[in-house]
Amino acid sequence: MFIGRIYKAALGRFRSSLQLRALAYTVALSGSALVLLGGVLSFSIGNGLFSTRTEQAELESHRATFAVSRVFSGVTGANQQQLSKAIAEVVPELESIGVSQTRQVAFLYSGPKNSKQYSSPKSTNFDLSLITTEFRARVLATEDIESQTVQISRGGESIPAILIGQRYEVPKGHPYELYLVYDMYNEQQTLGFVQRTLVLGGLVTLMIIGFFSFLVTSWLVRPVRDAAEVSEFIAAGDLDRRLPVRGSDVIAVLATSFNHMADSLQEKIKAMRQLSTMQQRFVSDVSHELRTPLTTMKLTADYLYSEKENFDDLSKRSVEIMHSQMDRFDQLLADLLEISRYDAAGVKPQYEVHDLNGIVGSALESIQQFADSKGVYLEVEIPSGAVQCEVDVIRIERILNNLLTNAIEHSEGKPVKIRVAQNETAVAVSVTDQGIGMNDAELAQAFNRFWRADPSRKRTTGGTGLGLAISIEDAQLHNGVLEVTAAPNLGACFRLTLPKRQDVAIEDSPLKLALETEN
């Protein structure tokens, strides 16, 4: 587990760091090149040492042949004792030849096996198993020198050596075989030293490459890192941040272009902010300025409405229409003022602990008359116990009134179901109807300001088009979530999820967001 965590951390660091990846790739490729170069050099040097030693061994073998001839130069085949003495002197004579390398000698009789008068002298350490049957056959088949590579033991260590073999006839025509072994201990030590030097040099070279690669990548990545850092500051709202421009290379051009883009972005954002501020101020000012004349007009309309029975039928109808439209105008101004307060971040909620069941009951009581007028049955599912939550009760009631009004308006006379539930961290209310519903395009705009799902449809409540926009602002003010799902001709389901306490985050909603047919 510990190793796994270290591996994941290292892998995450590798993936997130451009400099680390560039450094790793550079060192890996350089290391591969050095290994390849070292292998080629080691192979070439080893071959050179082997070829040189082989040539030296063959030259020494020719000299050994002449030395053997000198030993037998005064010997005649008639004197057996003299011949045996000369045969015995071959090995000491050849071992005493002054060469820079150690040499082992074997002078083997190859005549009839039943002849015991001819000896086969050899050096003390000569291992006859080095002379294989195949190699001996090659030596006997030619008059030239034959050679092959063998392994001999020296001080308990196995080292390479060269085995030289040649036929030789002593006086009176007795056949012999001369075998010489030249070890390559010095050559092996030289090659080992060269290989160690190559490895050490390669490691030092790799460290130097890594160091300079780190310096170069740091220099190259720094502008990219600066750009990422400045981008984060700009994204966080610090629009005055800029990249430093150094030199006139492509990095400097990139920094200049980035700064120009940031300047343009800053100007556009400032212009949009100014326009948004002007729009907010305009809405707020107009709403406030209209409030006084609207109050006067509404008082007049209320008075005329109270006296409508004294008017003729045409005037009476006109007074009723004026009264209803004044109420709608009054609600529109109230909604505009509320939206402008949200836009100006001037809303300060008053959180108190309330029973959500009671809030839902109050909203149902206020909407019941409208539901009865539409012939809509309100089906309620609430827990038996209290559902405590920390809310601004006025704003939550406003959300529920908006959701219930919309559900009744679009239910086409079918029942509307209201559910309340809670879990450890959250409470939720869902309002589900089985009416006309919405398609995906309409769902995407459901919470937009002044948007209506079906503008051509006759409405009886005279809504302002700001109800859901204000509702989602109220929900977010409570650190809650207002969601909707719908389908054409199947209805819609709105779900409001709120934290039980404002200092506790919502883990999940206690209610399912689904249409009545999906439950």
Q: Is the dihedral of CA 71, 74, 78, 79 positive or negative?
A: negative
Distance CA 356, CA 247 (A): 65
Q: Does 461 score more than 60 pLDDT?
A: no
Q: What percent of the chain has pLDDT over 70?
A: 83
State residue 221's pLDDT score. 77
Query: b/e map of 22-36 (b: 16 or more CB within 10 Å)?
Result: bbeebbeebbeebee
State residue 144's pLDDT score. 87
- Where does 23-192 sit in CATH, by number? 3.30.450
Token code pair at residue 15: 């993936």
Distance CA 517, CA 474 (A): 29
Per-residue pLDDT, averaged over 188-200, amounts to 90
> For domain 251-343, which architecture applies?
Orthogonal Bundle (1.10)
Of the pLDDT bands very low, low, confident and very high (cuts 50, 70, 90), residue 490 is: confident
- Other CB atoms within a 10 A radius of the CB of residue 19 amount to 17
Per-residue pLDDT, averaged over 131-156, amounts to 87
Per-residue pLDDT, averaged over 161-180, amounts to 85
Give 158: exposed, middle or buried? Use CB within 10 Å, 0-12, 13-18, 19+: exposed
Q: Does 354 score more than 70 pLDDT?
A: yes
- Judged by average pLDDT, the poorest of 216-230, 316-330, 451-465 is 451-465
**Beta strands 378-381; 416-422: pairing state:** parallel
Q: Where does 354-431 have alpha helices with state H?
A: 356-374, 393-410
Token code pair at residue 117: 């008068």
CATH class of residue range 352-518:
alpha beta
Q: Does 429 score more than 90 pLDDT?
A: yes
Per-residue pLDDT, averaged over 95-114, amounts to 72
- Other CB atoms within a 10 A radius of the CB of residue 219 amount to 10
Residues 375-412 pLDDT 10s:
899 999 889 888 899 988 888 898 898 889 888 988 88
Of the pLDDT bands very low, low, confident and very high (cuts 50, 70, 90), residue 302 is: confident
Token code pair at residue 5: 């965590």
Asked if 388 and 353 touch (Cβ cutoff 8 Å), the reply is yes
Say which amino acid occupies 255: A
State residue 88's pLDDT score. 82
Nearest Cα to 453, choosing from 467, 472, 470?
Answer: 467
Q: Does 519 score more than 70 pLDDT?
A: no
Q: How far apart are the first and last CA of the chain?
A: 43
Nearest Cα to 202, choosing from 10, 33, 428?
Answer: 33
Question: CATH 3.30.565.10 spans which residues of the chain?
Answer: 352-518
Q: Give long-range contacts, CB 8 A cutoff, 24+ apart: 33-38.
A: 34/202, 34/205, 34/206, 35/202, 38/195, 38/198, 38/199, 38/202
Residues 416-425 pLDDT 10s:
999 999 998 8
Beta bridge partners of 390: 353
Say which amino acid occupies 342: Y
483 or 5: which carries more pLDDT confidence?
483
Say which amino acid occupies 433: D
State residue 97's pLDDT score. 57
Residues 26-35 pLDDT 10s:
888 988 998 9
Q: Where does 157-249 have alpha helices with state H?
A: 185-235
Per-residue pLDDT, averaged over 141-158, amounts to 85
Nearest Cα to 466, choosing from 420, 393, 406, 418?
Answer: 406
Distance CA 105, CA 94 (A): 7
Query: Which of helix, strand or coil describes residue 111?
Result: coil
Mean pLDDT of the chain: 81
- Judged by average pLDDT, the poorest of 14-23, 305-314, 459-468, 469-478 is 459-468
446 or 374: which carries more pLDDT confidence?
374
Q: Does 281 score more than 90 pLDDT?
A: no
348 or 128: which carries more pLDDT confidence?
128
State residue 220's pLDDT score. 77
State residue 95's pLDDT score. 78
Q: Angle at Cα 17 formed by Cα 27 and Cα 251, nearest 5°?
A: 90
Distance CA 399, CA 485 (A): 17
DSSP string for residues in 16-57: H-HHHHHHHHHHHHHHHHHHHHHHHHHHHHHHHHHHHHHHHH
Helices 250-306 and 185-235 cross at an angle (nearest 10°) of 30
Asked if 34 and 206 touch (Cβ cutoff 8 Å), the reply is yes
Q: 317 vs 174, 243, 423, 459, CA distance in Å?
A: 151, 69, 52, 19
- Judged by average pLDDT, the poorest of 118-127, 271-280, 507-516 is 271-280
Across the beta sheet with 491-499, the strand order is: 378-381, 416-422, 426-432, 491-499, 481-487
DSSP string for residues in 476-511: HHTT-EEEEEEETTTEEEEEEEEESSTTS---S-SS
State residue 90's pLDDT score. 81
Nearest Cα to 367, choosing from 337, 326, 414, 400?
Answer: 400
- The reported pTM is 0.49
Distance CA 311, CA 486 (A): 47
Nearest Cα to 337, choosing from 284, 262, 393, 296?
Answer: 284
Choose the most confident range, by mean pLDDT, from 166-175, 199-208, 445-454: 199-208
Per-residue pLDDT, averaged over 130-142, amounts to 89
Of the pLDDT bands very low, low, confident and very high (cuts 50, 70, 90), residue 430 is: very high
State residue 208's pLDDT score. 92
Give 240: exposed, middle or buried? Use CB within 10 Å, 0-12, 13-18, 19+: exposed
Question: CATH 1.10.287.130 spans which residues of the chain?
Answer: 251-343
Q: Does 293 score more than 80 pLDDT?
A: no
Q: Does 75 score more than 80 pLDDT?
A: no
State residue 26's pLDDT score. 86
Query: b/e map of 399-423 (b: 16 or more CB within 10 Å)?
Result: bbbbbbbbbbbbbeebebbbbbbbe
State residue 456's pLDDT score. 47
